[in-house]
Amino acid sequence: MRLILPSCRSLLPVLLLTVPLAAITGCSHRARVSYAPPPAIGPYGSAQPAQPSYSRAERADWHYVKTHRPLYYQIGMASWYGPQYNHHRAADGEVYHQNSLSAAHRTLPLGSLIKVTNMSTGQTAVMRVTDRGPFVPGRILDLSEAAAKQVGIWREGVGKVRIDVYYTPASVTNGGRWAVQIGAFRHKRAALRLEDRLQRRYRTASVIEFKGPTGDWVRIRPENGNREQAVEIARNLHPSQGEAYLVRLD
């Protein structure tokens, strides 16, 4: 993954921390998995994905992207998530709809406006960041099912993309509420043991254990949600404790 800053901008990109550990927070605190189910096959053997119908807000976002320059961009692997999370609440508090254009990112402020481009085909889509994830090593973005179809990674399940960031509702480099998420543990007992150890070690932090579809997870949130403290906690975690991710909560 690379974060590249245009020379005409002074904004520093989000630094995504991946310790030799690597893990998640997603869909309202659930771990997320990438999906690549068999696509619907048309009469001539070709996939027939449904085309999204744009809302007024989505049309406004397209117009904004066409008339503004991006703040910076990021290149890496994207995946998608759909049926298992459809109609469940996302990290921004709204209900996730797999047929709407949206994305999950670990560190961009919720509500950020992005354009996603398939590096192999040039297919693009404009959307908002509404959720957290992906919590899979080596991936930087999770697309809704509709977005994955428009960008052209629906059938493959994953693909290399460029994320152009056009707008963020909050500073990317300052402030925010941050946490470190660790998982996924196959057995709840292991997650509870880690939670207990971390609670003793970080007495001023909020340490919780929660269930996700890929296992149990543990999250450490510094007392004031400070990013620097979250980074320091992640650096001090031992790889044997599980995969860990730096996650912005707001």
Task: List CB contacts of 20: < 8 A, sequence separation 6 or more.
Answer: 239
Task: List CB contacts of 90: < 8 A, sequence separation 6 or more.
Answer: 27, 28, 96, 102, 104, 130, 131
Dist CA 204 CA 16 (whole Å): 24
Condensed to tens digits (0 to 9), the pLDDT of residues 107-134 reads 999 999 999 999 999 999 999 999 998 9
Condensed to tens digits (0 to 9), the pLDDT of residues 34-53 reads 333 333 333 333 334 445 56
Dist CA 90 CA 100 (whole Å): 13
The model's pTM: 0.76
Percentage of residues of the chain with pLDDT beyond 70: 77
Class of domain 178-248: alpha beta
Where are the domains positioned within the chain? 178-248
Comparing 23 with 86, the larger pLDDT belongs to 86
Dist CA 67 CA 58 (whole Å): 14
Q: Is 90 exceeded by the pLDDT of residue 63?
A: yes
User: Does residue 14 contact residue 173 with C-beta atoms inside 8 Å?
Assistant: yes
Helix (H, G, I), strand (E, B) or coil at 47: strand
Dist CA 232 CA 235 (whole Å): 5
Condensed to tens digits (0 to 9), the pLDDT of residues 4-43 reads 444 444 443 433 444 333 333 344 334 443 333 333 333 3
Give the amino acid at 31: A
Length, in residues, of the chain: 250
User: Does residue 241 contact residue 194 with C-beta atoms inside 8 Å?
Assistant: yes
